[in-house]
Amino acid sequence: MININTLGALKASKYNSKNIKDELRDNLISKLQNKEPLFAGVIGYDNTVIPQIKRAILAKHNINLLGLRGQAKTRIARSMVQLLDEYIPVVEGSELNDDPYQPLSRFAKDRLEEMGDEMPITWLHRDERFFEKLATPDVTVADLIGDIDPIKASNLKLSYADDRVIHFGMIPRANRCIFVINELPDLQARIQVSLFNILQEGDLQIRGYKLRLPLDVQFVFTANPEDYTNRGSIVTPLKDRIGSQILTHYPKDIATAKIITQQEAKLSNNQRDAVSVPSMAYDLIEMIGFEARRSEYIDSKSGVSARMSITALESAVSTAELRMLQAGRKSTLLRLSDFGGLIPAITGKVELVYEGEQEGSEEVALLLISDATKTLFNSYFPSIPKLQRADENGPYTALINWFVEGNQLELLDTDSEKEYKTKLNSLSPLNDLIQKYCSDQKDTDEAYFLKELILWGLSAYDKLSRKPYDGGNQFKDIVGNILNDLQS
């Protein structure tokens, strides 16, 4: 089909032209009937967002994806390109992607009148039928719709009343394409008003010049909830003209979040081969994100993007890799102490409320890691009661007593894998806890992450003192540590 290069040959091929909404609808129906996958790479929306998008496409609606940052809104919009025909014919040289059967622009109409069936056509691939614009306060009507070009009018010696003097903006040039406006509320209200006629009446108004131009565009808008910022909102008449408003959301469980993070993390093959990541380390990274979304120090209206977990994983692996390279080794096991390298990945991804600002972004990041450590600790080991009699033995009494007797443990970044494992293995109470509660992991590398998790968990519950310093972590008896601090 793409070898056809004239209007006459196109007519002879019996090609049927469709508008873009029918095109999306027909291809969606075909994929559903053939049980082909849809929206590849969009995870966690199978029973919520995706069915609503399917209904909106079947209804031939323009779509507004409403949700907090990092909820795959733009990815969904870009995935819709796969529901377009692979190629469509356009009038060669047309800036509006004119349909050869129904030309819109003066250029294409004149070409058709002049050449008839000999009018040359070309073929547009679906990957070229996606336009995207980030709404910013400096966007103008001329950018989106168009403006009169005085230079063109002068060169062609045309009156401003002639439509040939118009320089079309991004939306007319996206005719027969998917056009996405990201962060729609950030678009000034007067600019949003300029979209009314395009969405409903199919005409353009440029500098008082009204041009009947029934554009064939599938609009997809993305926006954060209106109560998130005071930068702006979607004006009501525009919202009324958008067929479907679909709410997106964050992953609802750790398992889904892990799939997204591991899919999106940009880890090199060398990193994946050199750094062994325990499965529970992936859990801990996601738990930090879940803790952030319910933290009293973080603005819940702002949201915590899935990008935080992605960059946290990249930072954790890079921290372990740096430790490995500095020690001159070729492989390493990700340690819980490597999570100190996550702080820069967290602080830049959260928006603090007043209380959080008082604490400081780094302290909030450390608190999130601590709270996530508690959650992961409680999923493997017995919870620690807030009150416990001095003579009452608990599951951690033997371990705590080891430190009470004046012993301490230092886990250094410079420790080789053998030294790191030897130090943890030397604590028999740790080995007993792993044997009792995680016996299936006792002879694996996961056991060492679990042993460190016990120490971090006890320190998070103020049963042990953990003192981080450049080059490692020191664990000791919490009472003795307090007394030492008072004496010093």
CATH of the domain at 285: 1.10.8.80
Where b means 16+ CB within 10 Å and e means fewer, 206-224 reads beeeebebebbbbbbbbbb
Question: 12 lies in a domain?
Answer: yes
Model confidence over 290-347: pLDDT tens digits? Answer: 999 999 999 988 889 999 999 999 999 999 999 999 988 999 999 999 999 999 999 9
Question: 2 lies in a domain?
Answer: no
Can you read off the two tokens belonging to residue 440? 């299936």
> Does residue 370 share a domain with residue 390?
no
* Across 147-156, 164-173, 472-481, least confident range: 147-156
pLDDT at 302: 84
**Residue numbers of the domain that contains 418:** 385-488
Chain mean pLDDT for the chain: 88
CB atoms under 10 Å from CB of 92, counted, come to 16
Domain boundary among the residues 194, 225, 247 is at 247
Parallel, antiparallel, or unpaired: how do β-strands 332-333 and 275-276 relate?
Answer: parallel
Q: Give the pLDDT band (50/70/90) at residue 435.
A: very high
User: 18 by DSSP, 3-state: which?
Assistant: coil
**Radius of gyration of the chain, Cα coordinates, nearest whole angstrom:** 30
Where b means 16+ CB within 10 Å and e means fewer, 194-205 reads bbebbbeeeebb
pLDDT at 162: 66
> Does residue 172 share a domain with residue 31?
yes
Question: 393 lies in a domain?
Answer: yes
Parallel, antiparallel, or unpaired: how do β-strands 130-134 and 63-66 relate?
Answer: unpaired
Model confidence over 111-141: pLDDT tens digits? Answer: 999 999 999 999 999 999 999 999 888 888 8
Parallel, antiparallel, or unpaired: how do β-strands 464-469 and 472-477 relate?
Answer: antiparallel
Mean pLDDT value across residues 97-103: 93
Q: Which pTM value belongs to this model?
A: 0.86
Can you read off the two tokens belonging to residue 123? 């073929």
The helix (run of H) or strand (run of E) holding residue 345 is helix 343-347
Q: Give the pLDDT band (50/70/90) at residue 229.
A: very low
Q: For the chain, what percent of residues have pLDDT higher than 70?
A: 90
Question: 1 lies in a domain?
Answer: no
* Across 214-223, 283-292, 386-395, least confident range: 386-395
> Does residue 264 share a domain with residue 163?
no
> Does residue 122 share a domain with residue 54?
yes
> Does residue 37 share a domain with residue 94?
yes
Domain boundary among the residues 380, 395, 427 is at 380
> Does residue 243 share a domain with residue 289?
no
Model confidence over 25-78: pLDDT tens digits? Answer: 999 999 999 999 899 889 999 999 999 999 999 999 999 999 998 899 999 999
Q: Is the pLDDT of residue 228 over 60?
A: no
Q: Give the pLDDT band (50/70/90) at residue 487.
A: very low
Where b means 16+ CB within 10 Å and e means fewer, 285-321 reads bbbbbbbbeebebbeeebbbbbbbbbbbbbbbbbbbb
> Does residue 196 share a domain with residue 90?
yes
Distance CA 384, CA 374 (A): 10
**CB-based contacts of 178, cutoff 8 Å, min separation 6:** 20, 77, 80, 81, 84, 129, 130, 131, 217, 218, 220
At residue 22, what is the residue type? D
> Does residue 323 share a domain with residue 407?
no
Question: 316 lies in a domain?
Answer: yes
Can you read off the two tokens belonging to residue 36? 């082909």
User: 3 by DSSP, 3-state: which?
Assistant: coil
User: 362 by DSSP, 3-state: which?
Assistant: helix
> Does residue 283 share a domain with residue 350?
yes
> Does residue 180 share a domain with residue 118?
yes
pLDDT at 69: 87
Q: How far apart are the first and last CA of the chain?
A: 85
pLDDT at 155: 67
Domain boundary among the residues 194, 228, 247 is at 247
> Does residue 340 share a domain with residue 230?
no
> Does residue 150 share a domain with residue 13?
yes
Distance CA 69, CA 351 (A): 12
pLDDT at 203: 67
Q: Give the pLDDT band (50/70/90) at residue 483.
A: very low
Question: 135 lies in a domain?
Answer: yes
* Number of structural domains the chain divides into: 3
Distance CA 481, CA 476 (A): 7
